[in-house]
Structure 1
Amino acid sequence: MTDKLNLSNEEWRKRLTPEEFDVLRRHGTEYPGTGCFLGTKTPGIYVCAGCNNPLFQSGTKFESGTGWPSFTQALTPDSLTEIRDVSHGMVRTEVRCARCDGHLGHVFPDGPPPTGLRYCMNSVAMKHVPEGNPLPPVLT
């Protein structure tokens, strides 16, 4: 992974759409069932919408029935960071992009084999790069 990307909120607002900013920088979430990647089955790689850091391979995506795109594992062990989240009266594990610290979603221990994990992600926090296309450069 490349060095951490640290930008001011003003710089992030220039780079991101209002929806991306709300989720990635303000820890928002999209409504269940509304994300553009919910039913996507196209092979490829999912990258962070904030910095293009590669996050998930499409082969690890599964239908969880939760209303958000779900994955069983990260592309690499250093693609993501996990942080204890005690907001909204719950104890969860927040998932962030390891490069830009953008909020992606949460991970739960109720996924299918082989990992038993469900990375429940916001579509707006990611971009999909179809198989065979070059990955975009990680932003600086």
Structure 2
Amino acid sequence: MTPKEQVEGLLGELLDFGRKMLVEYGEFHPFGGYLSLSGNMVHMGVKVEGGGAVERMELLHSALKEQSDSAVAFGVASNVWLPQRDGAGFDAIKVFLEHRDGHCSDVFCPYDLSRSDPLIVSEIFAQRGEPVFFGCSSR
């Protein structure tokens, strides 16, 4: 598999789980996963008693960083609100992706819980991300 195919597979796995959580619970806490050197997808979440989103994200990043020697790519999904210039905004699943080869991106999948399929709202879009796990520059 190419690095692009690897991060696309990781993205698909994380979006599927995020969608499941939105359909069942209407929200989710940050979660992530990584693609191991052997090609297996490993899901990861954290539980913080009394902690907020920042603490959960820090703990998740720390737990994932411990796997950096055995991972090809990492992904972290979070639930975000994206404000617009007109004062409106929308909910989205944000998936940060980082590959050992230097690819880093933030992918956004807008959703609307009032629809029967909450993730089919508009096109998925992405922007360059900043490295977190491998410390390489983004391409």
TM over 0.5: no
Higher helix share: 2
Higher relative contact order (CA 8 A, sep 6+): 1
Higher strand share: 2
